[in-house]
Amino acid sequence: MKQALALVSLLLVVGCVQHVQPTVQLPDDASVESKILIMPTDVELYELTAAGLLEPKADWTQTAKQHIDTAVRNTIELRGERYVDYGNDGVIALEHSQVVKLHAAVGRALRLHVGTPGFELPSKNGTFDWGLGPEVAALRESHDADYALFVHVRDSYSSAGRVALNIAIAILGVAPQGGQAVGFASLVDLRTGEIVWYSFNMPVNADLREVASANAASDSLLKEFPL
């Protein structure tokens, strides 16, 4: 029994970070003087139930969003980048909401077709050609920025019932499945809509409801931020 409990504890707390770096380069005219729009983070947190369902948790989401928004701004400021805050208390305006949704969809495709070996798209012919299209012009016009930094995070945490179930199935020799964090960040050229940098380096065992963990997640995602 003790061995089974130890195994469950290990599997629930041990995570890894995906280190997948882009081959794309910033435009020649990019510089430390480029104005970077810091978009409000796209965050959603869930509770993983005993039945394996993901239930949205509004209070967790709000707490995590506040922590990550602050952490991202602090990370950028400490590096000395010139940034433009989106404002609006972190609430995405209706005219920009589709851009955020598009970034989420493109980011998921990037994780699969660029970040996962064996799932490359033959149509890309080995080149990096990903972007958000002309929709980003709305952000350039509204905030007078050259680039926009997007951060997308989805996280889930096991309920007490799920933890109990994991212990039970571990005793039977079945690997338990708990919640985990998934995130990515992208830097988008607002003149062309092209993604010029991205990062999947998200600690999968981060508890984003905690300030220290949110800070660590931000540092990991933006570790090799180019500007």
Per the domain annotation, does 184 fall within a domain?
yes
Per the domain annotation, does 22 fall within a domain?
no
> How confident is the model at residue 190, as a pLDDT?
94
Per the domain annotation, does 18 fall within a domain?
no
Q: Taking 60 as the threshold, does the pLDDT of residue 165 lie above it?
A: no
Place of tokens 């179930």: 165
The tens digit of pLDDT for each residue in 18-56 reads 444 554 556 666 666 788 899 999 999 988 776 777 788
Q: Which residue segment(s) compose the domain that 195 sits in?
A: 37-159+177-221
Q: Taking 60 as the threshold, does the pLDDT of residue 1 lie above it?
A: no
Query: 122: how many CB neighbours lie within 10 A of its CB?
Result: 6
Per the domain annotation, does 11 fall within a domain?
no
Higher per-residue confidence, 32 vs 189? 189
Hey, which residues does 187 pair with through a beta bridge? 149, 197
Per the domain annotation, does 81 fall within a domain?
yes
Per the domain annotation, does 167 fall within a domain?
no
Query: 126: how many CB neighbours lie within 10 A of its CB?
Result: 8
Q: Give which of 129, 109, 132, 65 is closest to 200, Cα–Cα.
A: 109
Reported pTM: 0.78
Q: Taking 90 as the threshold, does the pLDDT of residue 105 lie above it?
A: yes
Higher per-residue confidence, 67 vs 10? 67
> How confident is the model at residue 103, as a pLDDT?
95
Element (H, E) at 211: helix 211-221
> How confident is the model at residue 24, as a pLDDT?
57
> How confident is the model at residue 180, as a pLDDT?
67
> How confident is the model at residue 123, as a pLDDT?
83
Q: Which of 21-35, 50-64, 153-167, 184-198 has the highest mean pLDDT?
A: 184-198
Q: Contact, 224 vs 21, CB < 8 A?
A: yes
Higher per-residue confidence, 221 vs 176? 221
Task: State how many domains the chain has.
Answer: 1
CA distances from 170 to 11, 25, 49, 160 (A): 10, 46, 17, 15
Per the domain annotation, does 100 fall within a domain?
yes
Per the domain annotation, does 132 fall within a domain?
yes
Q: Give which of 189, 214, 192, 188 is closest to 203, Cα–Cα.
A: 214
137: domain CATH number is: 3.40.50
> How confident is the model at residue 82, as a pLDDT?
79
The tens digit of pLDDT for each residue in 58-70 reads 998 999 999 999 9
Q: Contact, 158 vs 101, CB < 8 A?
A: no
Which tokens go with 102?
A: 């598009």
